[in-house]
Amino acid sequence: MSEKQSGLSRRTFLRRTAALAALPAVVPSSVLGRNGAVPPSECIVVGGIGIRGRGMHDLRWMLPEKDVRFVAICDAQKRSREVVKRTVDERYGNSDCAMYPEINEFLATRTDIDAVLIATGDRWHTMAACLAMRAGKDVYSEKPSAMTMAEGQAVEDTARRYRRIYQTGTQRLSEGNFTFANELLRLGYLGDVHTVRAHIAPWDAAEMRHDWLEAEPLPSVDEVDWDAWLGPCPWRPYNSAYTRGDWRNHYDFHTSCIGEWGAHTFAQCQVAMGAGETSAIEYGYVANDSGDGMITKFANGIKMVLERDMDRKIWRGSCGVRYEGTKGWVATADGYAQPDMSNPAWMQDFKKIVANYMARTQRPMSHMRNWLDCIKSRRQTVANAAMMHHTMSTVHAANICMWLKRDVRFDPSKEEFIGDAEANRFRTRAMREPWIY
């Protein structure tokens, strides 16, 4: 073929060759994924919504992951935005972490973000998750991830409709001691299990405050966007104590002592007994302020007892669970070197049982890593939206039982209380415009 036919003269060819020769001969190893680096094309780009307190623990679990790049924080409080930015920039050795005060702008602007870490107060978990999933983001949300049964339904429906990967922060489902206890139950070591016991927080009460704190002068919107901080909750006067965490034990913002730890322990118990996507059907009122000793019953015949355990007779740490069957029992909580159990010889199988669980489920003993792996594989996480919704429905029903001061019965398939209009009214709460999912 002649130069005229090809459209490429010898002079043009030589000029282009010279230009290519002038390009760098060495490509950075990080781009190629060498020396342990992950190529940018395989990185998960993450942003944060409302990170402080517990969320900083999540962030510190996330930042060391080599396939994560955290790029932006959205928060209604300036000081919280700045703390996260400083933490991220120090980790990466740059000043690239962007800050956003408003969630809609954040989600609309950052189309490069694949996933978000949500660690706001309880009142914002559902709203932030639904907005993020509708914007095409996968979600890791701190617990309790739903303030009502209706919120749980919204999260599950949104995750399904938009095909998003969702993980609620019940991280004990990805820890060895708790997994071992769950597997002892599943594999039949305990015989026929008749009772499980779930720890509820040993402070505050099931009946929460319905008043509000005394009004203080509003700070500038840049310092604290109070309207955005409240989100879908009823309007309340600004008080700086709310922004420091004193929203707990207020009905507007919290899920009570039952939800505080029950979000963890109910999920643990229900997943162990194979009831992770259903809820208890009967709730027996107990005449105290916390729900301590309440017996809930599941359709499979197992009863779950709510335990405050102030005397440390059932377990020694926080967020404990105990499973009891005809052949023995097992109990574990935070800080255990190994679970307590009726037959210490079972510990010989600990490594094998946990390893077999990981092989069977393809889940690591890392809650954050499980979420990241599922973002790539599109498999369901261990603490997915359906599991969150139905185990939190058990939390909400237990609360409603305490608020009404009488026994209640619940139909998990219809997601309603049986013949009980008064109880059914508590399945949802009014939402303040424009914060409506």
Kindly state whether residues 156 and 181 are assigned to the same domain: no
With a cut of 90, say whether residue 10 has pLDDT above it.
Answer: no
For the chain, the average pLDDT equals: 93
When pLDDT is cut at 50, 70 and 90, the band that residue 39 belongs to is confident
Question: Lowest-confidence range among 222-231, 308-317, 370-379, 410-419?
Answer: 308-317
CA separation, residue 124 to residues 105, 274, 306 (Å): 16, 29, 26
Strand partners for 321: 198, 332
CATH number of the domain where residue 325 is located: 3.30.360.10
| Among candidate residues 143, 171, 199, the one where a domain is terminated | 171
Residue 1 has a pLDDT of 46
CA distance 137 to 167: 12
Kindly state whether residues 183 and 102 are assigned to the same domain: no
Taking residues 2-6, report their average pLDDT: 44
60-99 exposure pattern, b = at least 16 Cβ within 10 A, e = fewer? ebbbebeebbbbbbbbbbbebbebbbebbeeeeeeeebbe
DSSP string, 53-100: THHHHHHHHHTT-TTEEEEEEE-SBHHHHHHHHHHHHHHHTSS--EEE
Per the structure, how many domains does the chain have? Answer: 2
Kindly state whether residues 78 and 203 are assigned to the same domain: no
Tokens (6 digits) for 152? 């749980």
Kindly state whether residues 184 and 100 are assigned to the same domain: no
Q: Give domain status of residue 122, yes or no.
A: yes
Q: Give domain status of residue 246, yes or no.
A: no
Taking residues 403-430, report their average pLDDT: 98
Q: Give domain status of residue 270, yes or no.
A: yes
When pLDDT is cut at 50, 70 and 90, the band that residue 36 belongs to is low
Kindly state whether residues 60 and 167 are assigned to the same domain: yes
Q: Give domain status of residue 39, yes or no.
A: yes
With a cut of 90, say whether residue 437 has pLDDT above it.
Answer: no
The candidate with the shortest Cα–Cα distance to 162, out of 128, 140, 133, is 133
Kindly state whether residues 34 and 129 are assigned to the same domain: yes
CA distance 98 to 94: 11
Q: Give domain status of residue 381, yes or no.
A: no
Cβ neighbors of 352 (< 8 A, separation 6 or more) are none
With a cut of 70, say whether residue 158 has pLDDT above it.
Answer: yes
Kindly state whether residues 62 and 164 are assigned to the same domain: yes
Q: Give domain status of residue 114, yes or no.
A: yes
Residue 21 has a pLDDT of 45
Kindly state whether residues 275 and 158 are assigned to the same domain: no
Residue 40 has a pLDDT of 84
Tokens (6 digits) for 85? 């930015």
Range of the domain at 401: 172-207+254-365+386-427
The candidate with the shortest Cα–Cα distance to 398, out of 256, 190, 231, 202, is 256
The candidate with the shortest Cα–Cα distance to 280, out of 304, 259, 248, is 304
| Among candidate residues 171, 189, 223, the one where a domain is terminated | 171
Tokens (6 digits) for 391? 């185990």
CATH number of the domain where residue 156 is located: 3.40.50.720
Kindly state whether residues 197 and 324 are assigned to the same domain: yes
Rounded to 5°, the CA angle 288-172-69 comes to: 130
Number of continuous H segments (helices) and E segments (strands) in the chain: 16, 15
Kindly state whether residues 115 and 186 are assigned to the same domain: no
With a cut of 60, say whether residue 407 has pLDDT above it.
Answer: yes
Kindly state whether residues 297 and 343 are assigned to the same domain: yes
Kindly state whether residues 59 and 93 are assigned to the same domain: yes
With a cut of 70, say whether residue 34 has pLDDT above it.
Answer: no
Q: Give domain status of residue 15, yes or no.
A: no
Q: Give domain status of residue 234, yes or no.
A: no
| Among candidate residues 150, 171, 192, the one where a domain is terminated | 171
Q: How many CB atoms lie within 10 A of CB 202?
A: 16
pLDDT tens track for 166-190: 999 999 999 999 999 999 999 999 9
